[in-house]
Structures are given as C-alpha cells and as structure tokens.
Structure 1
Amino acid sequence: MTNTSKSSRIELVDALRGFAILCIILIHNMERYEFNFNLQDFPQWLKLLDAKVLFCGYFLFGGKAYAIFALLFGFSFFMQHQAQHKLGNDYRLRFLWRMFILLIFGFINTAFYQGDILTMYAILGLVLIPVCNLSNKAILTIAVILMAQPVEWFRFFYAYLHPQYVPTPNASVAYYEQIAAYMNNGNFIDYVVGNVTLGKAASLLWSWENGRFMQAPALFLLGFLIGRIKLFNIDNSNLLFWKKVLSVAIICFVPLYFLGMFLPNFIQRPALLNPLSVTIGSWTNFSFMTIWVALFVLLFQKQRIQKLLINLVPIGKMGLTSYIFQSVVGSTIYYKYGFGLYKYTGAATALFIGIALFLLNVAFCKWWLKTHQQGPLEKIWHQLTFLKFSSSTN
C-alpha cells in the first residue's frame, strides 16, 4: 500500500472530527442539554427505555467524544504550526491570540449551553506553546504524566496518610443548584446571564473535579505527536500500528471498566474513593476513545465503509460552526425560552431529535461548502487569527 496523499489524510481527520460532532450532538440531546427534569407522567416501560438509552449513550460517547475532539485539537495545532514554520514564521504568539479568539467563541456558545468546552480548550490549549519545540520523547513523557492524574493521586495519598481527613463537597454542586433556579423559571436573558456566570463557573469546576484539566492537555499533546509522527498518513506500518493500538486499548478498557464499576464495593471512604474513581474513569474513557479512533482509522481504509464515512467530512471541516450550531439549536429545542421540549422528551425521543439535528447540520455544511472553502465561523476565526498588527507612520 502506498502512502496516502495529504488530502486523504485531511479527509480522514475531518471525518473523524465529524464523527466526534455526531457523538456530541447525540449525547447532548439525550441529556436534553443538561436540563434535568423527571418525566413523572410517562409510563414505566418508557422510563426504563429512557434509562437504558441514556446508559448506552454514556457508555459509547460520554467522555469519549470530547476526548476525540481534544486529540484533534492538538493535531490541528501541529498542522498550523508546521505550515507557519515552513513560511519562516513563529506561530506561538499567533496561537496565543487565536486561543483568545476561541475564548470569545466559547463564551458566545456558553450563553446558549453552559456545558461548553471551547473555553476550557482555549485556556488549556496554551500548554502547546511552551512544549511544541520539545522532542517527541519529552512531549510523550509530559502527556503520560498528565494522563496519570497526578492531582488525584496526591489527594488519594494525602487522605490515606490522614485517616481523619474529610474532603469538602465538590464546589460545582452549589453552582449547579443555583443553575436549576433560572433553568426552571427564567427567561432568555436569565439563561444568558446565568450561563456565562454561574454556568461557566460550574462547568470549569466540574471539569477540574473530574480530571479534565489533566486529561485534556495530555490529549492535546498526543494529538500533536500524532501529527508530528504522521500517524494519520496511512501506510502499511501505520496500519499495523493502529491495529496494535486497537488491541491494546480493548485489553486495557475491559478491566478498567469493571474496576471502576466495582470499586465502591471495596472502598467506602469518599476521601479515598473519589480520587480513584476520577483516575480510573479518566483512563477508562481514554481507552474507549482510543478504540474509537483506531477503529475509525482502520475502517476508513475499507472502500465501502469509507463511502459512508466520507459524509462526515463536511461537518468535520466546519467543526467550530457545527459545535456552536448544535448548542444554539439544541438549547432552543429543549429550554423554556424556546420550544420547552424538556417536558415531553426522554432520552429515547431525544435521541431521534439528535439524529435529525445531526442530519440537518450535515445538510447545511454540504450546502455551505459548495460555495465556500470554510465554514462561516471558521472563516471569521481564520481571518481574526491572521490579522496584521502594524502601526503606520505619517
């Protein structure tokens, strides 16, 4: 097998990003964009169906779609950094500015959906600036250390050495309780103000409490390495690599999953259980995410399957636009200021709404890209990134 062309590699990455968008849309809809509401009047069989659908959604996509997105975030940084390096430019300061723009996009997205991840990416993505010129070994070492969840291990051993220590409740809990007030009774302005203040604080605190502040930068660095080592350039050796990765990921996932499931049976003390649960959960999600990525890369080489997966390219190419689009439309569908379907939809019904929303998103992306090279928000982001800051003299 000969090396794939650059365009084929980018198609693979765009399709994989499109797959991550699909997973994000489905899980967000099944959660009704984090609108927690018990459907009291639904028949028992439908409640049981909703519970099973939601369980499957979390099992397949929860923590995995975000991880794929993070991995490709690091890959995209490598591509941009490499392109600017070939032109003789130092991309690092430009990337810092680019992350500031992403932070603004993140707050715009947060106004509609408080579970936004763009702001966290904009902040944690800065880790790529000081490490991008390090050796592969150094970058991999840093990624492994971060993925090991050192903060959680510190918490675990501190609690182990101090038997009387009782941790304080997660700070995000109090914020989510306040969020419920405007989610249930507020108007659109209440939602916007609440989301960008209470909601943003809750989301970032939850990410910290659940190990995302360690895992996300690790994934950025691994994505950067994938780009540098050219693991998405599919030749025979790389295909063998991804087959090995798939096997190892499956072998790791199974015991980690069951360990996380049964851990509370062996450790009852929260001060010890919580950091271990976060760590094992992080590793479990990483293992399953790796299964998804390796499987996707391998299936993309099968012509019949590739013809199907290639339909994900447009939505992946417009990843930023698609991500914010699903937040705006999805929140309008479920929240009180919109159609208020949170009252009438469980996870099963919302799954079909999510599929419809995804197909609508794909149709829009295909239509847009017929006459444009980039999505509307990608175009704005690109133009703002490469603004020239120069002072003119008389």
Structure 2
Amino acid sequence: MNPSLPLQQKERIFVLDALRGVALCGILILNMPFFSRAFQVDFDFRILNDASTPLDVSSWMTTLFVLGGSFRGMFSMLFGAGALLIISRLEKQSGIEAADIYYRRLIWLLVFGLVNAYVLLWPGDILYHYAICGLFLFPLRKSSVRVLVLLLVFFISINMFKSYLKFTDNIAKRDNGLAALALKEQKKTLTEEQDGDLKKWEETLDKQKVENIRKDVEKENKAMLQSYPKVWKHLSPLNAKFESSKFYQSIFFDVMVCVLLGMILYRTGILTGDKSTLFYFWLMLVGYGVGIGEGVLVGIAWYNAGLDFYKFIELWPVHVSLYDIHRASVSLGHIGLIMLLYKSGFFHGFLKLYANVGQMAFTNYLSQSMICTLIFYGYGFGKFGQIGRSEQWYYIIAIWVFQIIFSNVWLRYFLFGPLEWVWRSLTYWKKQPMLRSKAMELVLT
C-alpha cells in the first residue's frame, strides 16, 4: 500500500479502533493513582515523601505533566469522531429514525455511566459525561469545519477565562489576607471585611500544611478500606458532585473541547489516515514538541516551588491555564505516531492487538473499574493506599496485558465485546447476533 494514499473504509475503521485501543489503555495511567490511593497524593508528593528517588520523580513528572490527560483527551476526540461516523451511517440506513436510535444509544450510555459511578463505585466515570455532551452533537452533524473550529475556540476561551478568574481570586485572597495580617500586627482594629480576608487567608495556609493534608489522606484510606455499603456511602456525595455541579462548572467544557476537536479531525480526514506520511510526521513532532515541552516546564516550575501555588506563580509567567493546549498537543502527537506506524505497513500486527481492545473499548473501560475497585477497595483485596507512586505501573501494565489478551481471544469467537453486545441490543431493543460466523460477518459488513 502506498503510504501517501487515503485508507480504504475497512482500514479507516481499523485505524480508529487502534487509536481507541491505545487511548483506552492510556486512560488507566491517569486513573490508576485515584483507584489506588487518596486523591491528594496524586499531585502532592510531600504527603508520603514518595518522590525521594529518580524513579518516583520521573513517574510524577510523566503522569502529571508529560502525558497529563492526553489519553483521556484522545479518547474523547474519538468519541466525537465516532458520533459523526455513527450518525452518518444511521442516516444512510434509517433516515429520520437516526436521531431516535442515536439518542437511545446515549440514554443507555448515561445509564451505564450511573452504574459505573454508583454500583462499581468509580467517581472518575466519563460515560455519564459523554452521554450528556453527546446530546449536543447531533445538531452539529452537518456543521462545517469552520463552525466546529469556532466552537472549539469558544470553549477553550471559556476554560482559559475561568482559569484567569481563579488565578486572580487566589492572588486577591493572598494580598488581602497579608494586608489584614499586617494591620493586625500593628495592633490596628480590623473592619469586618478585613477580618474575613484574614480568616480566608489563614484557612488557605492551614489547608496547605502537609500534616493536615496527611490527616485527610489517613481518613480517606480508612474510609476506602471498609465494606461495600460503607464505601458506597463515602463515595456517593463525590459521585453526585461530579455528575452535577462539578460537571456543569468545568467537566462539560473540558469534554466538549476534545469532542469538538475529534469531530474536526474526523471531518478533515486526519483521524482516518487521509493525510500524507509527512503530514503525520510533522503532527507528531509539533504535537509532542509543544505539549511535552510545555508540560515539562510546568512540572519543573512546580517542583522548584515545592508545590506551593504562590511560589509557583512567581516562577511561571503565564497566568492562565494552558492545559487544553497541552493536552490537545500531546494527543495529536499520539495520533501522529500511531498513524505513522500504520502507514509504514510494518506494524499492522502490533496495531491489531490494540484495534481489538478498541473494538471492545466499552467493555474494557468498565472492566478497568471492576478490576481496580476489586484490587484496591476494602470489600476486595484492600490494597488502597498501600502501593507507591512508581509501583502503580506494575498494576497498569498487568491490566494492559490482560485486556489485550482477553480482547484478542474474545473477538476470535464473537462479533462484539460482551457489554458492546448488551449496549447494542438495548439500543435497538432487539437481541443482536453474537457468535462469529462467515455468514453473519457478511450480513454485518
């Protein structure tokens, strides 16, 4: 195959599945620290002093600042691209019924998201968020690339503006608090407003004390190492927050940035391999260069600031969040690299392993919740809070190996992953074929 030619339809599906499989595996890098330990420990290595070795520091830097949320971003991009692909096929097959089927599919996705959060007890669920954001995609199915780009810029601008407001609020809190403290030390009477400013600043300083954060971590460990009903009760308020106020304040905008970018990449043929090898080489080079470069610089600034926000802002000159730019850039780097591997013609066997994982992404995503909660929560093997930062990689790699083997063996005999089959059957309200056979494959092709 000439690597500069567009891919055929079946090959395009293969590439999308391979990208989705890599993204699904990569998501576990982001989620494992929260499955296995208290959330405060993920960023703040001072709590457990778990950045005392080069390996731990490298793990901290890689997870938070090099890879960041890039695989989750990539997964969200593929959700956006997949929505366009599904809607296009549905409209060709069923016309006006496409909207009915598409929205039924999203409703069941929302239900599975609730199950992931409230039954499997994973507060980091993204299925619920995808279902809500997916409601807005059908009206955008025929929008031009220009319109999608404008919407993308709009959502990124909102995120940046909100980060700027948060930054200025924190600065004002410090300045007002220090001013009130200076007046108090001079034995001057504080106004009610100044007294409030001083209390807010003292509360902020108190929350930042390592010994106080350590107490919170100990409480979290104790809560997560109990029976299922007690863990459910502990996590229920957090699940409710992530699927209500937190979602509408930040998560919605976060997801929509990546979903819209995925729609753009699909519409322009970037996700389907229509571009040249040289294009993907530059996509990888620029994506990794910009994203990883920015991430490493931010990580170094945080490390040199001793994780103190107010010292960090003195070292880091940009006073708005560049997270969307960082995540998108690294995600594009991943896409460029995978496309280069595919178009070279030498890595089809390797990518096939991940394509099968991607074809069963729904099953594999939920099974990560099942496996990790069983390993770490108190009603399972109770490993919560008991593994170090770099040790998390052993669990990540072990689950990767299991899911790659399981997916490739399962799809030898079945047309869909088990939960994909359930989801498909519920969407069409009809039992779907499951066993793989030549006749059935011809029908579904």
The TM tier, using the shorter chain, reads 0.7 to 0.9
CA deviations on 1:301-351 (whole Å, 9 max, x unpaired) are 223333222211111100010000011111111111111123542233221
Matched position secondary structure for 1:304 = coil
* 1:180 equivalenced with 2:243 (yes/no): no
* 1:223 equivalenced with 2:256 (yes/no): no
Number of the residue aligned with 1:16: 19
Matched position secondary structure for 1:300 = helix
Number of the residue aligned with 1:392: none
Number of the residue aligned with 2:238: 198
Distance 1:67 1:34, change over 3 A: farther
Distance 1:30 1:199, change over 3 A: same
The worse-fitting range, judged by mean Cα deviation, of 255-264 and 336-345 is 255-264
CA deviations on 1:87-106 (whole Å, 9 max, x unpaired) are 25233343222222111111
Q: Does the aligned pair in 2 maintain the 1:331–1:338 contact within 8 Å? A: yes
* 1:328 equivalenced with 2:367 (yes/no): no
* 1:99 equivalenced with 2:106 (yes/no): yes
The size of the alignment, in residue pairs, is 380
> Any unmatched runs of 5+ in structure 1?
389-394
Q: Residue type of the partner of 1:234?
A: G
The worse-fitting range, judged by mean Cα deviation, of 200-209 and 95-104 is 200-209
Number of the residue aligned with 2:143: 134
Number of the residue aligned with 1:316: 358
Number of the residue aligned with 2:294: 256
1:367 deviates by 2.2
Identity of aligned residues (%): 22
From 28, 31, 42, give the equivalent of 1:28.
31
Q: Does the aligned pair in 2 maintain the 1:18–1:314 contact within 8 Å? A: yes
- How far apart, CA to CA, are the structure 2 residues paired with 1:241 and 1:358? 30
Q: Does the aligned pair in 1 maintain the 2:61–2:296 contact within 8 Å? A: no
- How far apart, CA to CA, are the structure 1 residues paired with 2:255 and 2:133? 7
* 1:70 equivalenced with 2:76 (yes/no): yes
Q: Residue type of the partner of 1:103?
A: L
* 1:147 equivalenced with 2:153 (yes/no): no
Number of the residue aligned with 2:115: 108
Matched position secondary structure for 2:343 = coil
Q: Does the aligned pair in 1 maintain the 2:66–2:295 contact within 8 Å? A: no
Number of the residue aligned with 2:342: 300
Matched position secondary structure for 1:23 = helix
The worse-fitting range, judged by mean Cα deviation, of 16-25 and 220-229 is 220-229
- How far apart, CA to CA, are the structure 2 residues paired with 1:27 and 1:384? 30
From 48, 52, 55, give the equivalent of 2:58.
52
Q: Does the aligned pair in 2 maintain the 1:143–1:222 contact within 8 Å? A: yes
- How far apart, CA to CA, are the structure 2 residues paired with 1:58 and 1:160? 24
Q: Does the aligned pair in 2 maintain the 1:318–1:365 contact within 8 Å? A: yes
Distance 1:157 1:58, change over 3 A: closer
1:177 deviates by 8.3
Number of the residue aligned with 1:3: 6
The worse-fitting range, judged by mean Cα deviation, of 211-220 and 360-369 is 211-220
Number of the residue aligned with 1:346: 388
Distance 1:158 1:357, change over 3 A: closer
> Any unmatched runs of 5+ in structure 2?
175-196, 431-445
1:129 deviates by 2.4
**TM norm structure 2:** 0.73
Distance 1:356 1:165, change over 3 A: closer
Number of the residue aligned with 2:422: 380
- How far apart, CA to CA, are the structure 1 residues paired with 2:33 and 2:359? 24
CA deviations on 1:274-323 (whole Å, 9 max, x unpaired) are 9x666212221221111111111112222333322221111110001000
- How far apart, CA to CA, are the structure 2 residues paired with 1:342 and 1:387? 40
1:46 deviates by 7.6
**TM norm structure 1:** 0.81
- How far apart, CA to CA, are the structure 2 residues paired with 1:82 and 1:324? 27
1:258 deviates by 5.7
Distance 1:217 1:272, change over 3 A: farther
- How far apart, CA to CA, are the structure 1 residues paired with 2:378 and 2:150? 47
- How far apart, CA to CA, are the structure 2 residues paired with 1:152 and 1:45? 30
* 1:364 equivalenced with 2:402 (yes/no): no
1:234 deviates by 2.9
Number of the residue aligned with 1:79: 85
From 104, 123, 132, give the equivalent of 2:132.
123
1:116 deviates by 1.1
- How far apart, CA to CA, are the structure 2 residues paired with 1:362 and 1:9? 21
- How far apart, CA to CA, are the structure 2 residues paired with 1:332 and 1:158? 37
- How far apart, CA to CA, are the structure 2 residues paired with 1:199 and 1:232? 33
- How far apart, CA to CA, are the structure 2 residues paired with 1:8 and 1:153? 41
Q: Does the aligned pair in 2 maintain the 1:30–1:348 contact within 8 Å? A: no
